[in-house]
Structure 1
Amino acid sequence: MAEAITTTATAGTATTIRPGMPFIEKPLLARLSVAMFGMVMGTGGLADAWAKAHEVFGVPLLVSQVLLGFAVLCFGVLVVAHLAKLGFCFAEVAEEFAHPVRSSFFPAISVAAIVLSVGLRRYSPVGAEVLWCLGAAMHFVFAITLIRRWILHPQDEGVLTPAWFIPVVGNILVPVGGVPLGFVEVSWFFFSVGLMLWLSFFTIVLHRVLFVPAMSQRSMPTLFILLAPPSIGLSAYLAFTGGHAGALGDILYCLALFIAVLLASLGRHMAHGPFFMSWWAMTFPVDGWAGASLAYAQARPGAWTTAVAVIALVAATLIVVWVGVRTAGHMASGAAFRED
């Protein structure tokens, strides 16, 4: 009887597995995913939202400080770990960057740096400026590299997820940290690129969601990324205008509110079944919505905007805590380091 042979292909490489062959698990360092920087985005974004709540409602700053401290620590650990991975497991890094889905999470590194720069500005302007400059420069390189790849090589619409927004729309976040530091002109550049590309990529992603077979259960939480562009765009716009909401601010606020309600109605369809680290994709967008809602309530005070801001902050906090608790168990079991 002929021996059965199984062949698996990943990112352009093929591995032949024959019965009786021992399965050798890759070292932990090689199995680290760049998507883990989503934890920094989620906790750091929530820290920024609570700092804004301190400014608007006078809530204790301690909550923001604890979250920011954890985010900075997590960022430091992940940076060291991924630098080690780059040095000792370069083939795995190259494989991850060549992957049609996982490559979109590399700009999470630069986004995380910018998120932390926003929070650190209150305590260390110099440190915030260094992080912002590094984050903005890295994001520019990632955006150019990935968009160039998408143009030069045909893409499979079936594997497209809202994670593609990270390298594209991450540009909109740059002014949130850059304008207060004095980098106004550069911030306009990033804001313009992110805003215009968001409009086109939103159409592409919406087409994929509506007319292509449903995304995998693991990818469903990335739908929350649809909330990030109008939310972060509103925060960026208010940064440019000094906190004055105009027509564009009103439009972005209303769109973000609509998407938030839509996602809430779809919540049970997106976060059920086995836990994956991709669930962190839900956290930063809701953090951004909370921060933008607080800033908008400050710009347009009223019972309605205040209520929305409070609901957004509570929702963001509950989601981050819930995903964080699930992550702790996922890491303790080792499953977090065995995801494909």
Structure 2
Amino acid sequence: MSTTIETHDRQPAQTMLTEDVASMRLPHFPITLFAMVMGLTGLAIALEKVYHLFGGSPLFFQSLLVATTLLFITLTVLYGLKWWHHPDVVVSDFFHPIRMHFFPTVSISLLLLSIGYYSYLPMLAIPLWFIGATLHALFTFYIFSYWIKRNFEIQHANPAWFIPIVGNVIIPIVGVDLVGSTIATFFFVVGIFFWIILLTIVLYRIVFHHQLADKFIPTLFIFIAPPAVGFISYLRIAHNFDLMAHFLLFIGYFFTILLLFMVNSFWRLKFFVSWWAFTFPLDAITIASLVAYQITREPFYAVVSIGLLSITITVISLVFVETLQQVRRRTICVQEG
């Protein structure tokens, strides 16, 4: 009987301990985890493009897209609980000179999910696009106005600054069909214009000032995303593989080659959630190459596409497995040093 009593006593104690640990970890739930959704959704879109170009089974990209949607819902609920129980922490993150730039990963995730569902489930894709585009426009104007009204130090600049403003180039990919070319072109022009400006600022900070902290080094891969996504967006608006399209695609290739050339700088890094910054830019340049092959049917783009897809799948698999291991070790959602 004593053993039974001890077992019953231990179970409530263990439950209370688990709840206490969860409540202690919730305030440190990072907004950067939504980069997981971006990376996995981008891979699903790439696999969908591979299916349409080379054949195979649609089960791969469809199952990944559904799983990523469930992940997005889970992360949204958890961050909503953080907002409900610890609103002061969320406000502090939103006004933090670095963390604030990761909040638009939520709206970009919605836009990417809309792209993923658009070809075979438009009734879901369309509302996702409208919510994502509206939310991202609000983030764009708010964060840009915040830049103007506040004083930032040059060391605060990093490639994550591209996310809120340059992220506008994603909007036209589906938006050109839903709201027309005029509004789609507006978002494209805003994204490309400020990509050029922010690229200059961030490169100046990296070259002439202190190196990025280790946790932010993976964000260098964000350099790949704006021209790669801009290429896809431009083709959706202009329907012409002209000099501008080549310019965007080849700048994307340049940054991809440059960063792969620097692979030793990334290999030595210990795990941070920011590792997910490796993933979506590789997705983007892979999709851009597949689109280039779809238009031109040049073998060069087919070879590049398959090579980039292999690298992308390998990197995402490694990052995903490492993330699961860190979750098991409970090293995620802890207070930053």
TM-score by length of 1: 0.90
The partner residue of 2:26 within 25, 29, 36 is 29
SS in 1 for 2:56: coil
- Provide the residue aligned with 1:21 in structure 2: none
Residue by residue over 1:224-263, the C-alpha shift from the partner in whole angstroms, topping out at 9 and shown as x without a partner, is 0000010000110121234x41111111111111111001
- Provide the residue aligned with 1:79 in structure 2: 76
Q: CA deviation at 1:339?
A: 5.0
Cα distance 1:339–1:172, how it changes in 2: closer, same or farther (>3 A)? farther
Q: CA deviation at 1:288?
A: 0.6
CA distance in 2, matches of 1:180, 1:43: 24
1:42 corresponds to 2:39 = yes
Q: CA deviation at 1:25?
A: 9.8
- Within a 5 Å distance, the mapping from 1:1-340 to structure 2 comes to 27-242=24-239, 244-338=240-334, 340=336
Q: Which amino acid aligns with 1:275?
A: F
Residue by residue over 1:67-87, the C-alpha shift from the partner in whole angstroms, topping out at 9 and shown as x without a partner, is 211210111111111222222
User: Contact 1:220–1:271 (CA<8 Å) still a contact in 2?
Assistant: no
Residue by residue over 1:130-161, the C-alpha shift from the partner in whole angstroms, topping out at 9 and shown as x without a partner, is 11011111111111111111111111111221
> Which consecutive residues of structure 2, in runs of 5 or more, have no partner in the other structure?
1-20
CA distance in 2, matches of 1:298, 1:122: 16
CA distance in 2, matches of 1:199, 1:231: 14
Query: Identity percentage over the alignment?
Result: 33
Q: CA deviation at 1:299?
A: 1.3
CA distance in 1, matches of 2:267, 2:228: 21
SS in 1 for 2:285: helix
Q: CA deviation at 1:26?
A: 6.4
Residue by residue over 1:108-134, the C-alpha shift from the partner in whole angstroms, topping out at 9 and shown as x without a partner, is 000000000001113321211111011
Q: CA deviation at 1:321?
A: 0.9
CA distance in 2, matches of 1:130, 1:208: 39
- Provide the residue aligned with 2:10 in structure 1: none
CA distance in 2, matches of 1:180, 1:61: 24
- Provide the residue aligned with 1:18 in structure 2: none
Q: Which amino acid aligns with 1:214?
A: Q
RMSD: 1.5
Q: Which amino acid aligns with 2:278?
A: M
- Of the structure 1 ranges 117-126 and 288-297, higher mean CA displacement relative to structure 2 is found in 117-126
Q: Which amino acid aligns with 1:245?
A: F
CA distance in 2, matches of 1:140, 1:176: 15
Q: How many residues align?
A: 316
Which structure dedicates a bigger proportion of its chain to helix? Answer: 2
Q: Which amino acid aligns with 1:325?
A: V
Residue by residue over 1:40-96, the C-alpha shift from the partner in whole angstroms, topping out at 9 and shown as x without a partner, is 000001101111111222233222112211210111111111222222210010011
Q: Which amino acid aligns with 1:95?
A: S
SS in 1 for 2:213: coil
Cα distance 1:76–1:93, how it changes in 2: closer, same or farther (>3 A)? same
> Which consecutive residues of structure 1, in runs of 5 or more, have no partner in the other structure?
1-23
Q: Which amino acid aligns with 1:293?
A: S
SS in 1 for 2:214: coil
Q: Which amino acid aligns with 1:252?
A: L
Q: Which amino acid aligns with 1:312?
A: L
SS in 2 for 1:44: helix
Cα distance 1:59–1:205, how it changes in 2: closer, same or farther (>3 A)? farther
User: Contact 1:44–1:115 (CA<8 Å) still a contact in 2?
Assistant: yes
- Provide the residue aligned with 1:17 in structure 2: none
CA distance in 2, matches of 1:33, 1:221: 16
TM-score by length of 2: 0.90
- Of the structure 1 ranges 221-230 and 137-146, higher mean CA displacement relative to structure 2 is found in 137-146
